[in-house]
Amino acid sequence: MKSGRLLATLLLLQAKGRLNARELAERLEVSQRTVYRDLDALSAAGVPVHAERGAGGGIVLADGYRQALTQFNEDELRALFVSSGDQLADIGVGDQRPFALDKLAGALPEAQRRAVEMARDRIYVDPRRWKQPVQPREHLATLRVAIWEDRRVRLSYRDQQRKPSVRVVEPLGLVAKAGVWYLVARSGTEMRTFRAERILGAEELDERFERPPGFDLVTFWRDWAKQFEKSLPTYTVLLRVAVDAVDDVTSYWESQVLERNARSGSWLVRVVFPAPEVAIHQLVTWSGKVEIVEPPDLRELVVQRARAAVAHYAATGRLGR
């Protein structure tokens, strides 16, 4: 495609500084006539490209324009090129990111290219939790397009109580939080946040809307997240945890490893659950791995829950013998 070839031409000139039409044609696998037409297109688009005559001449970019990529320091390059699981693929735009970074790397001087390769080989960021459900990519891609074009969307949604609803919303932005996508939208006169996993359907409408004046997605999300965290209930439990179970206990819930018992080798861990009922359910599954230290009355609640499970399966004849 012509747009890709123009970008390739620009990056080659940034990387090499000076190339003649024959060299460009060979690298791009086109005719010299096509090269000159592409240079005219770049010039018409405002790119400061020109030809210099003579034995040492060629096609060059203005110095200030060429220097843009070479001004990155190593830390800035690492920030761009550190390998990561690409959540942008969830909304239908991430598949092109590796190609874009390869093109950018190709335009860098040799020393900077080595820094890029080191960053890719030494650090990988995986933003998703263990066993996290797959995000609804089809709906997210539809929402992304609607957000780009300021179009209303008919949203089918199931709330936390699993109650379904259908509403027309004005999508303002998408936010990824620990691998989970959220839609920020205006519903009527209210600003709402919808968890993408609960979206049952998203249909882009022909109707356009005006974005709220001064709306800033980052500011909105930070304020909303702060208020949401404050509203969440908490239930703190102190546990004595076996050495081989510490990773399981601390991998999901908010937790803090406090101290190690020199005699038993176990660890004292503080875990924050959203409610007592959640703590009871989790501690039954952790039986044999942890010992409840505080609160003391939680022990009896866990015992009661375990006994109820045993009684249920004994009554139905499904208890293993």
Q: How far is CA 66 from CA 12, 60, 107, 173, in A?
A: 10, 9, 10, 34
Whether residue 160 is predicted with pLDDT greater than 90 in this model: the reply is no
Evaluated on CA atoms 196, 202, 206, 207, the torsion sign reads negative
- In the CATH hierarchy, which top-level class contains the domain 2-68? mainly alpha
pTM listed for this prediction: 0.61
The set of residues, in sequence order, having a beta carbon less than 8 Å from that of 15 and lying 6+ positions away, is: 106, 107, 108, 109
Beta bridge pairs of residue 235? 273
Which of these, 309, 264, 269, 268, lies nearest to 285 by C-alpha position? Answer: 309
Which pLDDT band, with edges at 50, 70 and 90, does 199 fall under?
very high
* Residue 286 structure tokens: 């952790």
Q: Model confidence over 261-318: pLDDT tens digits?
A: 877 778 899 999 988 999 999 999 888 889 999 999 999 999 999 999 888 888 776 6
User: What pLDDT does 85 receive?
Assistant: 62
- State mean pLDDT over 188-193: 93
Every domain range in the chain assigned CATH 1.10.10.10: 2-68
Q: Model confidence over 85-131: pLDDT tens digits?
A: 667 677 776 556 666 667 667 666 676 777 777 777 777 777 777 77
User: What pLDDT does 304 receive?
Assistant: 92
Whether residue 168 is predicted with pLDDT greater than 90 in this model: the reply is yes
On whether the CB atoms of residues 206 and 145 are closer than 8 A, the answer is: no
User: How many percent of the chain have pLDDT more than 90?
Assistant: 35
- State mean pLDDT over 252-257: 87
- State mean pLDDT over 150-161: 93
Which pLDDT band, with edges at 50, 70 and 90, does 18 fall under?
confident
The CATH number for 235-315, chosen from 3.30.420, 2.20.25, 3.30.70, 1.10.287, is 3.30.70
Whether residue 320 is predicted with pLDDT greater than 60 in this model: the reply is no
DSSP secondary structure, 144-187, as one string: HHHHHHTEEEEEEEE-TT--EEEEEEEEEEEEEETTEEEEEEEE
- State mean pLDDT over 162-191: 93
3-state class (DSSP) for residue 224: helix
- In the CATH hierarchy, which top-level class contains the domain 137-231? mainly beta
Which pLDDT band, with edges at 50, 70 and 90, does 74 fall under?
low
Which pLDDT band, with edges at 50, 70 and 90, does 231 fall under?
confident
User: What pLDDT does 127 receive?
Assistant: 75
Distance CA 187, CA 146 (A): 15
Q: Model confidence over 25-53: pLDDT tens digits?
A: 888 888 888 888 888 887 877 778 877 87
User: What pLDDT does 93 receive?
Assistant: 66
